[in-house]
Structure 1
Amino acid sequence: MTGTATAGAFGLASAAASWAAPDPGVDGTVWREYGTPLVAPTGPGPLSGETVAVKDLYAVAGHQVGVGNEVWLAQAPVEPSTAPAVAALSAAGAAIAGISRTDEFAYSLAGTNGHYGTPPNPAAPERIPGGSSSGSASAVALGQATIGLGTDTGGSIRIPSSYQGLYGIRTTHGAVSTDGLIPLAPSFDTVGWMTRSRGDLIKVAGVMEPNLPAAVPFPRAVYAESLIALADPDVGSAVRGAIADWPAELPSIDRIEFDAGQLPLWVKAFQTRQGWEAWQAHGAWIDLHWETLNPDVRSRFEAAAKRSAEELADADAVLASARATIDGALGDAVLILPSASSVAPPRDSAALGGEVIEDIRARTFQLTCLAGITGRPAVSSPLPVAGPPIGICAVGPRNSDRALAALRVNGS
């Protein structure tokens, strides 16, 4: 392995072992490896001059993949080739600044990690960064990279984007290759990225999804008060304000009725399928290394290990019905809703038995699951608010990613 965060630095210690920064002066909660750059671009292109923080799930040739777990990293082989998503950025002129921290196995939405510490949230210093693409988000928010490459299964791009005032996109499921990516749940895993400007978000979309249309004639935008009501009052108020000030140049925005009472059932089905796939991917390794897992991630894998084939079949039936319902309600419209159910929770709330984080996670999942169930793209944009950042999310028709990235729902 190149770089300074070697397997020997972490050894085979327990999950409580202390982490070491990858280099003096580099924040080890943000970066696992860091260079100037770590990997040079492979060619000039539209991203020349840009730098990328690569979430520690993607293969980068000559480096290991650590998945946010010390023992996994210690056992991981050096990768012989680079994941296509990373290679596309490099070929377009972007330099790889480093490999950024992730929540363990990407199985969290908080951004906290008991192995390496919690990355900072420079937009709200006393609050968590959001996960699981936490390191990539923090690197961009800190100005240490211009592109934060991450993944989004259940909200892992949209939530840190919302918490840190960034632009972030979850791409259409299957539109960007996930080869060379350690999976969580392939039925929902997507490639995504975060930037400080909409212009950069659009530019990266052109590189990553060149075969998708740059413009799509969205017929209208819609919102549902039942979805906005899932969020805390300050978040709901900010989203309603953006809807009330809807830019005249965009498609009209109309209120629709949506039965939010079915969302807990949909979330349960989503998490059943997600957990089943996560266990298929990692169960054999985890069975030998339970003691290495952070408590929140361990609890999810413990639940995943108990899923039966009957439960999975029931969940898949619910998901199929949910997808038909959502597609029927939206058609080709763009759905506007909060990116997360709250602003970023205080950092100390993560240590209070998990109740605060889990409540927020449950409500947020009811919002983020809509794109996950349908495979639709979703873009989080920061709203101009005082205090901690708040994101507004646009969920578009499948394969409308590039046009959705350009849709200025927040006025900028």
Structure 2
Amino acid sequence: MDVSVWRERGEPLVAGSGRGPLRGLRLAVKDVHAVAGHRIGAGNPARLAEAEPQPAHSWAVDALLRAGAEVTGIAQSDEFAYSLNGTNAHYGTPPNPAAPGRVPGGSSSGPAAAVALGEADAGLGSDTAGSIRVPASYCGLYGLRPTHGAVPVTGMLPLAPSFDTVAWLARDAQTLARVGEALLPFGPEPGRFRKALVATDLVALADAGVRAAFRVAAAELAERAGLRVEEVPTLAGDPVARAVAFATAQAGEVWQCDGAWVSAHPGTFGPGVEARFARAAAVSAESRIAAERVVHRTARTLRAALPDDTVLLLPATGGPAPLIDETPERKAATRDATVRLTCLASGAGLPCLVVPGMSTEGDGLPVGMAVIAGPGSDRTLLALALALT
């Protein structure tokens, strides 16, 4: 068992119901979901040591087990799910078979690596600021962050509740959709998208190799899906100010959720996460309120731009996966560029699908295409993913 990928593993760890549409599907569960009889460690040994076994499964784990899936194991997370790189100072960096020598992305790093390696069929994780979308992009996987609140987060360790969602990834669109059938609320038949927006200022946030790949991939996706592309110069205001506001609002909630535990356990985090918590501790009530106003204003603008028949296309990440031994400064720069993209769906509570297939010019590294839609369009996004296969 590779401990950088798995915290616990069984054959299976938890058996499924033995019946249902997901019968036999191998599930890697991120170490922020409750699995009955097991502890939640959230990627941190000190938290794991103090944790008590969970009395029941999280809502999402229970729903998937009842649908026939089996829990192959509990997969690693970036510490407290508060990172996007996929590195862990305690357990190591999970491999990225799609880009060897590079990070898998986080914080759902363990499930992403398990799925990419073929050791699981689907990964159940969480997504607050991109924790499913980033590893899906870096590892060449499909991923879905659903509409905020569409899937109950009961039994999932909170990070920033206003932005937390249950989320999942898979190697193929069919498996992604099958998991969605078990998790998403019943509703009308999926609709159809007819228009795709491309915002010039958003595409410009990615590096040159990604921008070139995106232009080709966006045109191909639109043609295959029968979408009319409309290019606009901007969509939701200044991307830097928007990302800073989102990070501030998120940090305020993070400290509210975890600050007491973090304060009582100094020195237990890796350097990147430790610094992030220190910044969260410094967010004043006034700064948080001002940031939330910006987030809410951006959310209204974005939702108004995305009626039922319209999607927004953008790169899922600002660049391909950084090298494992990349300098902290370079990793931070990549993360900042990526958050400027991922914070759109997070701040507006909108569903976002990541589809693989893009690769950067020259080195051929995988990068995902993100498709953001209006609230409640989760099943239509999954139908789009199926239509593209």
TM-score bracket, shorter-length normalisation: over 0.9
Match of 1:372 in 2: 346
CA distance in 2, matches of 1:302, 1:189: 21
1:355 equivalenced with 2:329 (yes/no): yes
Match of 1:250 in 2: 226
Structure 1 segment 286-365 matched on structure 2, within 5 A: 286-332=262-308, 333-349=310-326, 352=327, 354-365=328-339
Q: Percent identity?
A: 48
TM-score (normalizing by structure 1): 0.90
CA shift digits 1:239-284 (9 cap, x unpaired): 1001222324423221122157611111111111111111111111
Match of 1:16 in 2: none
Confirm or deny: 8 A CA contact 1:247 1:409 kept in the other structure.
no
CA distance in 1, matches of 2:10, 2:225: 43
1:154 equivalenced with 2:134 (yes/no): no
CA shift digits 1:294-331 (9 cap, x unpaired): 11111111111111111111111111211122223333
Confirm or deny: 8 A CA contact 1:69 1:115 kept in the other structure.
yes
1:90 equivalenced with 2:46 (yes/no): no
Match of 1:191 in 2: 166
1:390 equivalenced with 2:367 (yes/no): yes
Identify if the C-alpha distance between structure 1 residues 409 and 383 changes in structure 2 by more than 3 Å, giving closer, same or farther. Answer: farther
Letter in 1 for 2:356: P
Match for residue 142 of structure 1 among 102, 117, 126: 117
Match of 1:263 in 2: 239
Match of 2:149 in 1: 174
Structure 1 segment 6-21 matched on structure 2, within 5 A: none
CA distance in 2, matches of 1:176, 1:142: 27
Confirm or deny: 8 A CA contact 1:339 1:393 kept in the other structure.
yes
Letter in 2 for 1:298: E
Structure 1 segment 190-209 matched on structure 2, within 5 A: 190-209=165-184
Identify if the C-alpha distance between structure 1 residues 163 and 186 changes in structure 2 by more than 3 Å, giving closer, same or farther. Answer: same
Identify if the C-alpha distance between structure 1 residues 263 and 384 changes in structure 2 by more than 3 Å, giving closer, same or farther. Answer: closer
Paired residue secondary structure (2:123): strand
Unaligned stretches of 5+ residues in structure 1? 1-25
More displaced stretch, 91-100 vs 256-265: 256-265
Paired residue secondary structure (1:201): helix
Letter in 2 for 1:175: A
Identify if the C-alpha distance between structure 1 residues 334 and 260 changes in structure 2 by more than 3 Å, giving closer, same or farther. Answer: closer
Compute the RMSD of aligned alpha carbons. Answer: 1.5
Confirm or deny: 8 A CA contact 1:381 1:409 kept in the other structure.
no
Identify if the C-alpha distance between structure 1 residues 384 and 316 changes in structure 2 by more than 3 Å, giving closer, same or farther. Answer: closer
Match of 1:113 in 2: 88
1:124 equivalenced with 2:108 (yes/no): no
Letter in 2 for 1:206: E
Query: In the TM superposition, what is the alpha-carbon distance from 1:409 to its structure 2 partner?
Result: 9.2
CA distance in 2, matches of 1:355, 1:261: 26
CA distance in 2, matches of 1:169, 1:183: 18
CA distance in 1, matches of 2:157, 2:329: 29
Match of 2:191 in 1: 216
CA distance in 2, matches of 1:114, 1:343: 22
Confirm or deny: 8 A CA contact 2:236 2:298 kept in the other structure.
no
Total equivalences in the alignment:
384
Query: In the TM superposition, what is the alpha-carbon distance from 1:68 to its structure 2 partner?
Result: 0.5
CA distance in 2, matches of 1:402, 1:168: 13
Letter in 1 for 2:275: S
More displaced stretch, 402-411 vs 80-89: 402-411
CA shift digits 1:369-388 (9 cap, x unpaired): 11011100001111154722
Match of 2:34 in 1: 59
Paired residue secondary structure (1:290): coil
CA shift digits 1:40-77 (9 cap, x unpaired): 00341110120100000000000000010000000000
Identify if the C-alpha distance between structure 1 residues 300 and 94 changes in structure 2 by more than 3 Å, giving closer, same or farther. Answer: same
Letter in 1 for 2:281: A
CA distance in 2, matches of 1:143, 1:409: 21
Paired residue secondary structure (1:291): coil
More displaced stretch, 240-249 vs 315-324: 240-249
Paired residue secondary structure (1:174): coil
Letter in 1 for 2:51: A
Identify if the C-alpha distance between structure 1 residues 249 and 180 changes in structure 2 by more than 3 Å, giving closer, same or farther. Answer: closer
Paired residue secondary structure (1:287): helix
Unaligned stretches of 5+ residues in structure 2? none
1:404 equivalenced with 2:381 (yes/no): yes
Match for residue 103 of structure 1 among 64, 75, 78: 78
1:46 equivalenced with 2:21 (yes/no): yes
Confirm or deny: 8 A CA contact 1:381 1:410 kept in the other structure.
no
Identify if the C-alpha distance between structure 1 residues 178 and 335 changes in structure 2 by more than 3 Å, giving closer, same or farther. Answer: same
